[in-house]
Amino acid sequence: MKRNKLYAIVLCLLATAVSASTQDNDYSFLTFQYGGIQQSVALSSLKKITFSGGKLIATTTEGSESFELSTMEKMFFSSTPTAVSAPSVREGELTWDAASQTIHANGGNGSAVLNVYFMNGATALRTTVPAEGATVSLASLPQGIYIVKMNRQTLKINRK
């Protein structure tokens, strides 16, 4: 029942985007919020949205992004993308696992420094991630919003 409701919401959002594009609103991005992360997809590159195995799959001209429906908090249209986007899983990148309160980091070609900042800019955690990768727990940090940086990637996470 919950899944059918989510499907209906997604279809309503897409219908809204199509009708809004003919009005004064200039929506260019569809933003997904899940696990405390926001990720925007340009509507101009969006080819289709499908559902499979409890996931929403957004297929774009650049590839596909999948989102667990169980962690999906909301979707919305905007004229600008979110300032911090969630990563796809690639070498040298970060992913946030809200369920385990951990960051999965891969150092890429060599070791990399992972920095976690409080919203006031103070450093909450700093660690070196080896090329083969590491899992860094944030469970000991207070609940709140954090900025995570490694190499040229930035994540905004909400540790609940």
The CA–CA distances, whole Å, from 66 to 23, 41, 55, 79, 125 equal: 30, 12, 6, 22, 29
134-137: strand order across its sheet: 94-97, 102-105, 134-137
Output the pLDDT for position 7: 65
Output the pLDDT for position 72: 81
The distance of Cα 95 from the centroid of its chain, to the nearest Å, equals: 8
Is there a contact between 67 and 59 (Cβ–Cβ < 8 Å)? no
Output the pLDDT for position 110: 75
The CA–CA distances, whole Å, from 46 to 54, 58, 68 equal: 20, 7, 18
DSSP string computed for 131-148? TT-EEEE-TTSPSEEEEE
pLDDT in tens, the chain (160 residues): 566 666 666 666 665 555 544 445 677 888 887 766 777 788 888 888 888 888 888 888 877 777 778 888 888 888 777 654 444 444 457 888 888 888 988 766 778 889 999 999 999 999 988 878 889 999 999 999 999 998 878 888 988 8
The CA–CA distances, whole Å, from 62 to 39, 45, 81, 82 equal: 15, 7, 16, 18
DSSP 17: H
153/92 Cα distance (integer angstroms): 9
The distance of Cα 109 from the centroid of its chain, to the nearest Å, equals: 23
Output the pLDDT for position 6: 61
154/15 Cα distance (integer angstroms): 32
Output the pLDDT for position 152: 77
Output the pLDDT for position 116: 94
DSSP 61: T
Read off the pTM.
0.46
